[in-house]
Structure 1
Amino acid sequence: MDEFIDLAAPAVRWLRRKATLKEPTVLQSFAFDEVHRHLYVLQLRRGGADAGDLCLNKLDHTGERLGHMYLHGFGHGVGMGVQHAPDGTLWIWTEAHAEDGYGRGVTRFRFSHGAVRTRRDVKVRHPVGGSTHNQPSVCQATGRIAVRYRLDGRPRYRVWDLDAFTARDYDRPIADLPQTGAHPDPGVPFQGYALCGDHLYQLAGTAYDATANPPARHGNTYLSCLDIRTGALLRRRRTEAGRSLDFREPEGLAVRHRPEPRLYVGFASGPPGARRFSLYYKPKT
């Protein structure tokens, strides 16, 4: 799991301009169920950003929707993860306990088509006391979970063994490091991250804009990689993946390990009220 995913490699198109999500909003994050070959995508419910209301979509690998469920008061959906328990249960990890639209904790639950879940329906975990903006990511290959969080307004990452975390043993994290280097311009929005072994991959950038980020320049989206053992920024590259998309806002990162590690990058396109999503991937070195 120490191999790098090549951030400088040309991106490969996987899904493009799909209009199959339940809500007409942009995707926020996504994760793979590699056992059953499903893709889970989080998006904000239309008009639900302030309350932290999310829609979770279950898709096949052609991007067709197989089901959906609603998560009221959970958060903004910046990160999510999939866990396969030893008994075969599939768990979805997301943020939870929304305050000002972002989760103060995390939770896990089983997918149920058509269901509506609220904070009262799940067991919320607060692994970092006093933190806000909690967003999980799961590395299925190594059995680890990361939580991006804020303390005193500063974003950090903490990584645990997933079995220990599931057992609510939060006192022995594998790593705790500051978020750094996501973009050359620190004012550009953070748009997602993914844990893969000893590496954290980050995404930052904005939608096309006629003046600050015009399509002719192919966007300001950057991918970067941190080493969780040292906190060092190992690599950072601008990506032109999906440069011909209209709007083109980077949204979400996920790693798929089969048949080999690949870093998938999400992009939103289309007009307001009718957003579409596209996924591109970068191969391992």
Structure 2
Amino acid sequence: MTLIMHQQASRIWLFKAALICIIATLLGSTFIVNNKVYASIPSTDAFDLTTPATMLIREKAIHNATVLQSIGFDNVNQHIYVAQLTQGGLQLPGEPAAVSAAVRKASGDLTITKLDFAGNKLSYMYVKGAGHGVSIGVEPGIGQNGLPVAYLWTETDSFDEGGGGRGTKLARFPFTDGAVVTPNTPWLEKHDIIPGAYNTTASIDMEYGHLLLRYRLNGVYYFDVFDLEQVKQNNYVSLSHIPVPAVATSFQGYTKHGSYAYILEGTSYGKEGSVYPDGNVYITSVDLNTGVTLERKLTRAGYTLPFREPEGIAIQIPDMNHPEEARLAFGFASTVSSTDTTKLISIYYKDVFR
């Protein structure tokens, strides 16, 4: 398909999405279009992307030496979860020998590190056969032992088309210190929300009770919003279905807060036009009811970091008694030094609404 045809298809989807939301708002109910059920998401304020960013943590170590891929917050228990590709040369329990970085990437093996809100490492686990880790969801809950636990939503059933493993389904499981989870682990729940989809990842919006799904189907990336509790009951009713806006550089993560999705893009210094000190890191806000881009703004947050690759974006709520004080948090990978390429994580945030 030519670029013009792609653009025409995107415009058609945007028109349909806008028309659907107008009708849904007027009718105040859900309805079916092309076998999909739609309902407008209650409108909320959006983060002001023009405001300066504030540092949350800077240059903290995570479990492996590889670049972080995504972040997620357990705002109830005040923990940060960080996903990264499992580094090469490790032999995990149940493996006959050490596995190379190339095989880890092709298999979609992830390492998840648990940090406190100050960035101190608490524990870790491994998720094999997951995907690239572009986004992870975090759902605070209570475990079978009656103690607080975070349920993670990751990719699973990874498939490698040649550029590395990418998930085809979603997995939900409790974070478990030191565990190695595979697609066949009995206590891992699987959700095949969009059959035939690829690059399937999720972000959890606990404040509004939604799961935001990003996936690729027939070569096109989409965002769909679902009621989280309904998904857990295997009831997959899409509340919003829009094409994911194209990015100018590298797609580095997404999240949701209310009726808006937020996209992080950019590269490390020296790649795709990224030049110190401005770089090329952009955050974009997208109206999930219409598919229309609200803002796309450059951020110079963490500009003094060496390497400085943007990776991961999520919602932090420091005090659950005050959800109106939510933060749009986004991560950067940096290096220990010019001779030690072990990657560190820094997180900055914006907390002003339009």
Q: Counterparts in 2 of 1:35-46, with a 5 A limit?
A: 35-46=76-87
1:141 touches 1:257 (CA, 8 Å); kept in 2?
A: no
Give the distance between the partners of 2:142 and 2:239, measured in 1 at CA: 22
Give the distance between the partners of 2:131 and 2:341, measured in 1 at CA: 20
Residue 210 of structure 1: CA displacement? 7.1
Residue 81 of structure 1: CA displacement? 1.1
1:235 is aligned with what amino acid? E
1:131-160 CA distances to partner (integer Å, 9 max, x unpaired)?
000010000101100110001121111110
Residue 84 of structure 1: CA displacement? 2.9
Match of 1:61 among 91, 109, 117: 117
Give the distance between the partners of 2:48 and 2:131, measured in 1 at CA: 31
Match of 2:344 among 276, 280, 284: 276
Residue 257 of structure 1: CA displacement? 2.7
Q: Counterparts in 2 of 1:161-176, with a 5 A limit?
A: 161-170=227-236, 172-176=237-241
Normalised by the length of structure 2, the TM-score is: 0.76
1:211-267 CA distances to partner (integer Å, 9 max, x unpaired)?
832214x21010001111111111110111111111111000001134411100100
Structure 1 range deviating more: 271-280 or 189-198: 271-280
Paired residue total: 278
Normalised by the length of structure 1, the TM-score is: 0.93
1:2-47 CA distances to partner (integer Å, 9 max, x unpaired)?
121111100101111112x110011111111111111111111011
Three-state SS of the structure 1 residue aligned to 2:212 is strand
Equivalent position of 2:210 in the other structure: 144
2:71 corresponds to 1:23: no
Q: Counterparts in 2 of 1:84-233, with a 5 A limit?
A: 84-85=140-141, 89-100=149-160, 101-121=165-185, 122-170=188-236, 172-181=237-246, 183=247, 185=248, 188-209=249-270, 212-216=273-277, 218-233=278-293
Give the distance between the partners of 1:84 and 1:62, measured in 2 at CA: 19
2:346 corresponds to 1:263: no
Give the distance between the partners of 2:221 and 2:55, measured in 1 at CA: 31
Give the distance between the partners of 1:38 and 1:228, measured in 2 at CA: 27
Give the distance between the partners of 2:47 and 2:59, measured in 1 at CA: 25
Structure 1 range deviating more: 196-205 or 269-278: 269-278
1:130 is aligned with what amino acid? G
Unaligned runs of at least 5 residues, structure 2: 1-42, 88-100, 320-324
Runs of 4+ in 1 over 6 A off after TM superposition: none
Match of 1:8 among 43, 50, 75: 50
Residue 284 of structure 1: CA displacement? 2.5
Structure 1 range deviating more: 242-251 or 79-88: 79-88
Unaligned runs of at least 5 residues, structure 1: none
1:3 touches 1:284 (CA, 8 Å); kept in 2?
A: no
2:259 is aligned with what amino acid? D
Residue 105 of structure 1: CA displacement? 0.7
2:107 touches 2:158 (CA, 8 Å); kept in 1?
A: yes
1:51 is aligned with what amino acid? S
Give the distance between the partners of 1:258 and 1:18, measured in 2 at CA: 19
2:233 is aligned with what amino acid? A
1:97 touches 1:124 (CA, 8 Å); kept in 2?
A: no
1:53-79 CA distances to partner (integer Å, 9 max, x unpaired)?
000111111111111000111111111
| Identical pairs, percent | 37
Equivalent position of 2:17 in the other structure: none
1:43 is aligned with what amino acid? Q
1:275 is aligned with what amino acid? K
Three-state SS of the structure 2 residue aligned to 1:284 is coil
Three-state SS of the structure 1 residue aligned to 2:157 is strand
Indicate the structure with greater helix content. 2
